[in-house]
């Protein structure tokens, strides 16, 4: 609390309009916050990672000084010696690491909020990534969350109760502390995108050498962060190819399978060169949000209704209203700015949305109530004010036919907020790669079309009810048509932008006209010199 009060006082002393002083203040307190997070560890580092990765989904809403300062904490937290983290793991596995592995590196290759990863070699010669949880972490996390909940009882931004947000954080972090959950998530996600191998991979899990506080996966070398432009170029990796792979992989996981990766930031998603081609490697599957079939298919239909050059505003708003209430017209823009055409928003409202401002007639209370509504949705339009990870889905709660992380009947509530959060992270990846929005929208629309087609085929609403295998040609035609509509949509968008640009230039070049005082005086002077009559001058005017 003292750090918060000091920062508040320092910002109050910055003169309005002094950008240099404001930047210096940002930089100073970003360093202070980073040091605080590192010293406290656990939940505090998680919060810093969230800020570092949110830039991709929040545009310029966050000061870049904080983003830059926190970015190393996504995978470069100060490490601990092996002997400081191995004791609790050895007690769980029932043997010392030296007997379980032929070799374990002393220092980790990566360290984050809850664990650090060491390179190790099994007795049969396999290279594995050994993820070891920091000792005493469950107790520390419980204590930190208790402090945060105590603070939240009297720190209420704009008078709003944020207790449910802390409940979510507690549930998510507690789930991540059990690496068996992460192992199940990783195996389910790997199966979902196996058709993309070797373009996208999720390292295989060695269940014999994994447990609650330890997880062993295949070691993948040559990893390069997607925001390290120079390293990607030097390695011969194509950012556009990596962007396309990432768009397809995360759209498939979320929309076709209802498996929403909770932390797809640059510390968990890497590029590498594999047999001369670009390959995407997705790590850290501890947190997955659940998306029910009901919400998943509704969202897919919303995306398809927006991803067309001829959107029907009523259809779009009717679907979006089920998720976002009064902010339904802004929801498509959160998925993609290009969906603004489908909302019926005016140019003024679209400009306000692009600048991170609320449209006229929308209050902060509306925003808060919408967040509460989306948080409390159980996937079938019922509020329950709970949230959870996709443990049920990862355990096989889906429909088994290529769709659904659950049917809403498993007791595992749906998390639309988690999905939007994940979408923001993925946009951050694409921003780092400078990948075009058209490619991201095409991937979302193609995954949405596939999900709806599979759903309707299974329910007898399409494909004659005979399943996908009986009508692959029908799916291929549907995907081709969807891709064509996205192409036309962005052609139209570019045309609109061009027309606006041309009109703006023409208006800027048009003289103010003869009605200005200067032109009028000049006209009157010329008329008098030439002896023209007042009647003719009126007629000319």
Site of tokens 């050498």? 209
pLDDT band per the 50, 70, 90 thresholds, residue 215: very high
**Short-list 51, 86, 102, 89, CA closest to 72:** 51
**What average pLDDT does range 287-316 have in this prediction?**
92
Q: Residue 279: is its pLDDT beyond 90? A: yes
Model confidence at 187: pLDDT above 60:
yes
pLDDT at residue 53, rounded to an integer: 59
Measured CA distances, 259 to 296, 351, 409, 464, 474 (Å): 10, 33, 16, 27, 25
* Pair of tokens at residue 255: 């929309």
pLDDT: which is higher, 382 or 30:
30
Q: Is residue 214 part of a domain?
A: no
Give domain status of residue 425, yes or no: yes
Last residue of a domain, one of 50, 74, 98: 74
Q: How many residues does the chain have?
A: 541
pLDDT at 157: 53
* Cα–Cα distance, 134 to 46 (Å, whole number): 14
Instruction: Say how many Å lie between the first and final Cα of the chain, rounded.
Output: 71
Q: pLDDT averaged over the chain?
A: 79
Domain assignment present for 221: no
456 lies in some domain:
yes
Tell whether 419 is covered by a domain.
yes
Contacts of 353 (CB under 8 A, 6+ apart): 330, 333, 340, 345, 359
Tokens at residue 393, please?
A: 């889905």
Ramachandran bin of 110, using left for φ above 0, alpha for ψ from -120 to 50, beta for the remaining angles: beta
The model's confidence at residue 302, banded by pLDDT at 50, 70 and 90, is very high
Residue 387 confidence class, pLDDT cut points 50, 70, 90: very low
- Cα angle, residue 103 at apex, residues 102 and 108 outer, rounded to 5°: 150
Work out how many domains the chain is built from and give that number.
2
Residue 248 domain flag: no
pLDDT confidence of 519, banded at 50, 70, 90?
Answer: very low
**Region of residue 492 (phi > 0: left; psi between -120 and 50: alpha; otherwise: beta):** alpha
d(CA 161, CA 155): 9
pLDDT > 70? residue 394: no
Domain presence at residue 493: yes
- Residues 254-278: tens digit of each pLDDT: 999 999 999 898 889 999 999 999 9
Mean pLDDT of 511-520: 54
Tens digit of each residue's pLDDT (9 = 90 or more) over 46-103: 777 666 655 444 444 567 788 788 777 766 778 888 988 888 788 888 889 989 999 9
Kindly tell me if the per-residue pLDDT of 300 is higher than 80.
yes
Q: Which residues contact 32 (CB under 8 A, 6 or more apart)?
A: 3, 7
| Residue 86: inside a domain | no
DSSP assigned state of 158: G
Task: Specify which of 242-251, 309-318, 390-399, 462-471 reaches the highest per-range mean pLDDT.
Answer: 242-251
Show the domain range for 67.
2-14+21-74
Q: Which two tokens stand for residue 400?
A: 């088994």
Residue corresponding to tokens 């048509």: 481
507 has pLDDT over 90: no
* Separation between Cα atoms, residue 201 and residue 213, nearest integer Å: 24
Decide which of 458 and 46 is more confident: 458
Q: How far is CA 436 from the centre of its chain?
A: 16
Q: How far apart are CA 240 and CA 249, in angstroms?
A: 14
Helix axes 416-433, 43-58, angle to 10 degrees: 70
Evaluate whether 211 touches 92 at the Cβ level (below 8 Å).
yes
Tell me the mean pLDDT in the region 504-511. Answer: 83
How high is the pLDDT of residue 430? 94
For 407-438, how does the pLDDT look when each residue is reduced to its tens digit (9 = 90+)? 333 334 568 888 988 998 899 899 999 999 99
Task: Read off the tokens for 222.
Answer: 């040559």
Please say which residue of 74, 93, 111 terminates a domain: 74
pLDDT for position 400: 41
């Amino acid at each position: 609390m003292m750090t918060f009060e000091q920062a508040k006082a320092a910002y109050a002393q910055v003169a309005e309009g002094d950008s240099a002083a404001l930047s210096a203040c940002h930089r100073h307190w970003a360093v202070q916050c980073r040091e605080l997070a590192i010293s406290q560890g656990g939940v505090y580092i998680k919060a810093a990672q969230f800020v570092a990765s949110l830039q991709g989904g929040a545009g310029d809403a966050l000061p870049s000084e904080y983003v830059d300062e926190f970015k190393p904490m996504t995978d470069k937290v100060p490490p601990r010696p092996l002997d400081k983290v191995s004791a609790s793991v050895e007690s769980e596995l029932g043997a010392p690491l030296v007997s379980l592995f032929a070799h374990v590196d002393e220092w980790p290759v990566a360290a984050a909020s809850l664990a650090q990863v060491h390179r190790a070699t099994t007795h049969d010669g396999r290279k594995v990534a050994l993820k070891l949880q920091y000792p005493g972490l469950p107790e520390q996390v419980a204590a930190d969350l208790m402090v945060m909940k105590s603070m939240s009882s009297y720190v209420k931004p704009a008078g709003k109760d944020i207790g449910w947000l802390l409940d979510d954080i507690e549930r998510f972090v507690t789930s991540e502390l059990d690496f068996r959950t992460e192992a199940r998530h990783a195996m389910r996600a790997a199966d979902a995108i196996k058709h993309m191998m070797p373009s996208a991979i999720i390292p295989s899990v060695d269940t014999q050498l994994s447990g609650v506080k330890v997880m062993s996966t295949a070691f993948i070398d040559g990893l390069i962060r997607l925001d390290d432009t120079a390293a990607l170029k030097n390695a011969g990796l194509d950012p556009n190819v990596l962007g396309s792979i990432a768009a397809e992989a995360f759209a498939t996981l979320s929309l076709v399978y209802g498996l929403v990766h909770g932390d797809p930031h640059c510390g968990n998603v890497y590029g590498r060169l594999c047999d001369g081609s670009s390959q995407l490697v997705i790590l850290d599957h501890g947190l997955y949000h659940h998306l029910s079939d009901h919400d998943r298919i509704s969202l897919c239909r919303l995306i398809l209704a927006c991803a067309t050059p001829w959107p029907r505003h009523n259809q779009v708003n009717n679907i979006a209203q089920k998720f976002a209430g009064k902010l339904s017209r802004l929801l498509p823009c959160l998925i993609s700015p290009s969906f603004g055409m489908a909302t019926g928003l005016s140019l003024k409202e679209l400009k306000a949305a692009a600048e991170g401002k609320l449209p006229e007639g929308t209050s902060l209370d509306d925003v808060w109530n919408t967040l509460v509504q989306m948080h409390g949705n159980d996937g079938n339009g019922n509020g329950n004010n709970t949230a959870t990870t996709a443990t049920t889905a990862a355990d096989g709660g889906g429909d088994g036919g290529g769709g659904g992380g659950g049917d809403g009947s498993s007791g595992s509530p749906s998390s639309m907020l988690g999905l939007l959060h994940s979408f923001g992270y993925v946009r951050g990846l694409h921003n780092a790669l400078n990948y075009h929005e058209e490619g991201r929208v095409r991937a979302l629309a193609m995954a949405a079309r596939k999900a709806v087609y599979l759903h309707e085929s299974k329910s007898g609403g399409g494909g004659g009810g005979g399943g996908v295998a009986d009508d692959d040609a029908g799916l291929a035609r549907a995907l081709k048509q969807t891709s064509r509509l996205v192409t036309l949509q962005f052609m139209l968008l570019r045309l609109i932008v061009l027309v606006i640009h041309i009109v703006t230039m023409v208006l800027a070049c048009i003289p103010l006209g003869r009605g200005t005082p200067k032109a009028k005086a000049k006209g009157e002077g010329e008329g008098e010199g030439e002896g023209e009559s007042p009647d003719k001058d009126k007629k000319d005017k």
